[in-house]
Amino acid sequence: MEAAAAKDMPQQEIQTESKQIEMPEIQKLTDITGTELIEPTLSGETRDDIIDEMIQKLSRAGVLHSASEFKQAILNREQESTTAIGMNIAIPHGKSDAVKRPTVAFGIKRSGVDWKSLDGTKAKLIFMIAVPKKVKGTNI
């Protein structure tokens, strides 16, 4: 279904350093996420558990070339500063060659997890953003 939908979507050329690649033009939320990327009951007990759980969602959905390479991109970004923006929200994100297409996964951890949030709240709503490294014009 996803592949068929991608064929019907307008294509946008993305210039990379070595070649041009075609990426689907994002016009609606379902162009970057789907029900298979939503987890209403995350089971992890730590930030890293939740990151692993969400990366597995992306991997099972066929979004990643390499789960371990994308995880390293996520952890590198977390080392720069927390992606927990407050109000129980965390937005871990990474740009990596391990990502096939821009995608967002969403999860809920009802009891919350310590993410070193800017306002001290536990992260309950987690949005993981995955973007191919070679896509120009993206800044995450």
The 3-class SS string of 47-74 reads HHHHHHHHHHHHHHCCCECCHHHHHHHH
Please check the confidence at residue 6 and state whether its pLDDT lies above 60.
no
Confidence class of residue 17 from pLDDT cuts 50, 70 and 90? very low
What is the Cα–Cα distance from 52 to 27, expressed in whole angstroms? 29
Q: Which amino acids are annotated catalytic?
A: 93
Confidence class of residue 13 from pLDDT cuts 50, 70 and 90? very low
pTM: 0.81
Give per-residue pLDDT as tens, 100-133.
999 999 999 999 999 999 899 999 999 999 999 8
CA separation, residue 10 to residues 27, 30, 32, 135 (Å): 9, 14, 14, 17
Q: Are 72 and 103 within 8 A, CB to CB?
A: no
Please check the confidence at residue 15 and state whether its pLDDT lies above 60.
no
Q: Residue 11 has what pLDDT?
A: 44
Q: Residue 100 has what pLDDT?
A: 95
Confidence class of residue 10 from pLDDT cuts 50, 70 and 90? very low
**Count of CA atoms in the C-beta half-sphere (13 A) of 34:** 13
Pairing of strands 20-24, 11-15: antiparallel
Give per-residue pLDDT as tens, 29-81.
888 999 999 999 999 999 999 999 999 999 999 999 999 999 999 999 999 99
Q: Are 126 and 117 within 8 A, CB to CB?
A: no
The two tokens of residue 28 are: 């609606």
